[in-house]
Amino acid sequence: MKSVLRRLFSVESEPAPSPVAGTAPDLLAAEVPRNAEEKQPPASRLYVKRVTLAVGILVVTFLLLTFLWGSRSILFLSFGAILFALMLRAIADLLCRVLPGFPEKAAVGIALFLLVALFGIFIYKTAPSISAEAEKLAEEVPASLQDIEQRLERSGVGRYILKEFRENTPTPDLATGFGHITGLFGAVTNALVLLFGGLFLALSPTLYTKGVAKLFPLSRRPRVYEVLGCMGKQLRGWLLGQFISMLVVGVLVWAGLAFLDMPLALVLGVIAFLTDFIPFVGPIIGAIPGILLAFSQGPQMALYVTLVYVAVQQIESYLVVPLVQQQTVSLPPALIMIVALLGGALFGLPGIIIATPALVAIITFIEEVYVKDFLGDRPEESQPEQA
């Protein structure tokens, strides 16, 4: 009996499981992960955030490209002003080296005066001859064109060519004349903007480089100055090499045409000098006036003049350019052609004109910022030491 009572009391006296010791921690342990899961955003919300960010980046990129496309004429003028400023600074630096202690701003002013004076003297000396030859050419070209038209009328292919030419040639009217006037006014305005913009940049280049450097952290500003200086140096080297090539072309064209007793040989040489700045199509544009003028002397003279232009172009391509690029800036010809075609397709003739200097600036920027800074590939560090 006592054993039974003792057994019963021992069972009843066993402590009941405490809710604090047993169940409560289990419940809290079970609730912690559930609360953590509730705090984490669902997959759909994260996906929406990523899509919104991607769409925002695309919209900002599209707006930026639209703005750049709309202001492309301003960008062209700005880049042209930079090139003109580099040319003025190159002449001014030469004057300062010849005359030590000469003020830089005064040297820039003298450089601009020399360029404007040379252009004015050229116009003053050659304008009468150009006017006389233009009148002579205007009298003889219609007769030559009529003779060509009569020759084309004798064949079926020639008649088809004449028909297509007449249908696709616009008839001069008041709107066309007004368009020529506005185009001339725009060209004069752009030339003035280019002139004064380049002058302001050449007078105070440090002011603008400091403005660009202030967009970057203090620790990176020395490197920004270094990159900008390297880009300016490369562009000046390219301008020097381009000037030498243009000068050789102008002198050779002038000498060849003078040997043939062509009228306006000096003027045609200057035209070839100026148009040689345009890659690929520039020599063709520069040769057209000389060939047209040669037709007034006869078809045989036109053939000889064409051979002169072709020979000068071959000398420039295979002799002058390789020698110049060894001392200045070397660019892959295929890359120049691709960039020129791309610039022409997007922006027309202005795109072709600035294609090569823009390529110089882009290649220099990629080498300095991406290759050297981002990839850490510096030629002076990566070359193995020779034993």
Query: Do the beta carbons of residue 253 and residue 264 sit within 8 Å?
Result: no
Q: What Cα–Cα distance (Å) separates residue 149 from each residue in 31, 84, 159, 259? A: 97, 45, 9, 32
Q: What Cα–Cα distance (Å) separates residue 2 from each residue in 10, 20, 212, 351? A: 12, 34, 102, 114
Instruction: Name the residue range of residue 104's domain.
Output: 73-140+185-203
**DSSP code of residue 329:** -
Rounded CA-CA distance 253/315 in Å is 11
Residue 4 banded pLDDT, cuts 50, 70, 90: very low
Positive or negative: CA dihedral 266, 268, 274, 277: negative
Q: Are residues 191 and 106 in the same domain?
A: yes
Residue 101 banded pLDDT, cuts 50, 70, 90: confident
pTM: 0.69
Rounded CA-CA distance 335/352 in Å is 13
In a domain, 307, yes or no: yes
Mean pLDDT of 297-312: 88
Query: Of all helices (H) and strands (E), which one includes residue 192?
Result: helix 174-203
Q: State the chain's mean pLDDT as an integer.
A: 78
Would you state the pLDDT for residue 311? 93
Residue closest to 239 by CA, chosen among 359, 90, 138: 90
- Over 90: is that where the pLDDT of 294 sits? no
Rounded CA-CA distance 88/82 in Å is 10
Would you state the pLDDT for residue 28? 46
Our count of domains for the chain comes to 2
In a domain, 67, yes or no: no
Q: What is the Cα 251 distance to its own chain's centre?
A: 28
In a domain, 309, yes or no: yes
Query: Do the beta carbons of residue 280 and residue 257 sit within 8 Å?
Result: no
In a domain, 90, yes or no: yes
| Residue whose structure tokens are 């002449």 | 91
Q: Which two tokens stand for residue 148?
A: 């060509």
Beta-carbon count within 10 A of 309 CB? 23
Q: Are residues 133 and 230 in the same domain?
A: no
Q: Are residues 258 and 189 in the same domain?
A: no
Residue 379 banded pLDDT, cuts 50, 70, 90: low
